[in-house]
């Protein structure tokens, strides 16, 4: 368990008690950390830890599929493991949603490593592919109800390696607490930023073929979620133009409790992201916004999500954004293509009375397992919500022509964006 359980206080109350993964962004050579097999293994850590393995995909007809395994540890209680699936068709507005507590969860299954897991209701197997152009793959098989079964293969292109921000076993980690050797908690993200999916879905006895593109993120919150962050922003853009384009971001904002000068100096914004251009992983981005700093508009490394036009939503009590502006900038990691690459994306979300692309406002407390709500003070006096949207957008790109022809003059790439705005407190 973490030292936060005992309310320890550092000798210097003004000492930094938050250490972001993006705190070294000036060292641009350290931004890209290639994933090792161990980076995607399940840790199933004890204490208060939430670990997730999430697959997002857009199909050829623009249907969005999300599959997620959630491993929730709550102190000395037995972990709760969920499998959740959301399938959203933007043309018919139909949403299929399943969230089940699984039984007999095991990692690793016999003969596999801990990137794979299984339970009575599903199996996710990580294995090499027979196709050298897509060397790694996950095979997902799930029986989620009498009327919903999944059989999917998710593969990673050889030209798009998985990544974390920072190299080595500590890559991807942000730490909470003054003592890095004994942190109060941590957050870590590892990504496959572009994947291919194929297979089929059986819903109400009808089989549908699945083909599309997407991403994978393996994430861990090594502390109670309500102590990790007050806000989250997530962006997932995909397009098949120019041989494949992807733009992703994951951003969180710490509570006031954790910042550069100890308790009371928080509200630190941490953002990590990437750009896949021409079917190749081209840029890794990471940025920290400290409460006492104004970000530079010409920063050589930029990774930002800005909520615009907040409007009070009577359904949730939060001020939801009317639009979001996402920005990326960083040095190319492609051999033979030097220089800075930049990207921006604007999405109009409408307002509570006239939303644009809204899939759902997820009441988090209604979805988490009963044992977590009753045994843990999960969110003190708040009701967290996750807004989910899907829209057609344009990604504005600029960089070296050796990456994509015409990039130096600027390109507009049309594609699909799935994005979330989470309000925790």
Q: Give the pLDDT band of residue 368 (cuts 50, 70, 90).
A: low
Residue 324 near residue 305, CB atoms below 8 Å = yes
Q: What is the dihedral of CA 154, 129, 273, 344, to 10 degrees?
A: -70
In the CATH scheme, what is the code of domain 32-223?
2.40.370.10
pLDDT value at 296 more than 90: no
CA distance 415 to 391: 9
Domain 224-424 matching CATH 2.40.370: the answer reads: yes
pLDDT band for 380, please (50, 70, 90 cuts): low
Report the alpha-carbon distance of residue 395 to residue 326 in Å, rounded: 9
d(CA 180, CA 214): 34
Are 306 and 321 spatial neighbours (Cβ–Cβ below 8 Å)? no
> Residue 3: what pLDDT?
37
Q: What pLDDT was estimated at residue 365? A: 81
245-249, 253-257, 272-276, 364-368, range with the lowest pLDDT? 364-368
Beta bridge partners of 221: 50, 187
Measured between alpha carbons, how far is 285 from 355 in angstroms, rounded to an integer? 30
Residues 73 and 303: their CA atoms lie apart, in Å, by 31
pLDDT tens by residue, 5-33: 334 445 688 899 999 998 754 456 679 99
pLDDT for res 383 = 87
**Contact (CB, 8 A) for 340 and 38:** no
pLDDT grade, residue 299 (50/70/90)? confident
170: number of Cβ within 10 Å: 14
Write the CB contacts of 337 (distance below 8 Å, at least 6 apart in sequence).
Answer: 282, 399, 400, 402, 403
Nearest to 270 by CA among 240, 241, 236, 229: 229
| 224-268 pLDDT, tens digit each | 888 999 999 999 999 999 999 999 999 999 999 999 999 999 999
Q: Strand runs (DSSP E) across 23-109, as ranges?
A: 32-34, 47-59, 64-75, 77-88, 95-101
For residue range 74-85, list pLDDT tens digits in order: 876 778 999 999
pTM equals 0.94
Q: Could you write out the DSSP letters of every residue in 115-148?
A: T-EE-SSEEEEEEE-S-TTS-EEEEEEEEEETTE
* Distance of alpha carbon 248 from the chain centroid: 8
Q: How far is CA 304 from the centre of its chain?
A: 14
Q: How many whole angstroms separate alpha carbon 124 and alpha carbon 115?
A: 8
Tens of pLDDT, residues 102-150: 999 999 999 999 999 999 999 999 999 999 999 999 999 999 999 999 9
The predicted pLDDT at position 77 comes to: 73
Supply the mean pLDDT for the chain: 92
């Amino acid at each position: 368990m973490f030292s936060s359980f005992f309310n320890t206080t550092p000798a210097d109350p003004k000492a930094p008690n938050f250490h972001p993964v993006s705190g070294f962004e000036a060292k641009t050579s350290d931004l890209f950390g290639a994933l090792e097999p161990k980076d995607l293994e399940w840790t199933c850590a004890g204490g208060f830890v939430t670990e997730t393995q999430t697959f997002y995909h857009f199909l050829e007809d623009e249907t969005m599929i999300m599959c997620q395994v959630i491993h929730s540890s709550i102190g000395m209680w037995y972990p709760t493991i969920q499998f959740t699936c959301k399938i959203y068709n933007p043309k018919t507005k139909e949403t299929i949603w399943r969230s089940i507590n699984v039984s007999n969860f095991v990692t690793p299954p016999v003969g596999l490593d801990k990137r794979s897991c299984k339970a009575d209701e599903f199996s996710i197997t990580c294995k090499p592919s027979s196709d050298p152009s897509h060397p790694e793959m996950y095979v997902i098989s799930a029986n989620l109800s009498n009327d919903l079964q999944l059989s999917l293969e998710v593969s990673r292109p050889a030209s798009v390696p998985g990544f974390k921000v920072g190299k080595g076993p500590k890559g991807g980690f942000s730490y909470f607490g003054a003592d890095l050797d004994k942190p109060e908690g941590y957050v870590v993200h590892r990504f496959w930023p572009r994947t291919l999916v194929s297979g089929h879905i059986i819903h109400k006895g009808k089989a549908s073929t699945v083909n599309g593109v997407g991403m994978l993120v393996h994430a861990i919150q090594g502390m109670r979620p309500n102590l990790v962050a007050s806000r989250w922003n997530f962006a997932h853009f995909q397009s098949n133009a120019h041989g494949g384009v992807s733009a992703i971001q994951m951003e969180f904002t710490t509570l006031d409790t954790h910042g550069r000068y100890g308790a009371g100096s928080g509200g630190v914004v941490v953002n990590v992201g990437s750009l896949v251009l021409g079917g190749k992983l081209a840029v890794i981005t990471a940025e920290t916004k400290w409460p006492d700093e104004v970000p530079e508009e010409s920063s050589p490394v930029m990774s930002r999500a800005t909520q615009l036009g907040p409007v009070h939503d009577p359904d949730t009590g939060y001020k939801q954004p009317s639009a979001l502006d996402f920005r990326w900038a960083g040095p190319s990691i492609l051999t033979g293509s030097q220089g800075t690459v930049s990207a921006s994306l604007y999405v109009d979300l409408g307002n509570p009375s006239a939303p644009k692309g809204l899939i759902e406002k997820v009441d988090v407390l209604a979805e988490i397992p009963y044992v977590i709500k009753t045994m843990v003070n999960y969110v003190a006096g708040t009701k967290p919500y996750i807004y989910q949207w899907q829209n057609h957008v344009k990604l504005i790109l600029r960089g070296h022509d050796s990456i994509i022809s015409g990039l130096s003059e600027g390109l507009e790439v049309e594609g699909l964006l799935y994005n979330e705005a989470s309000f925790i407190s």
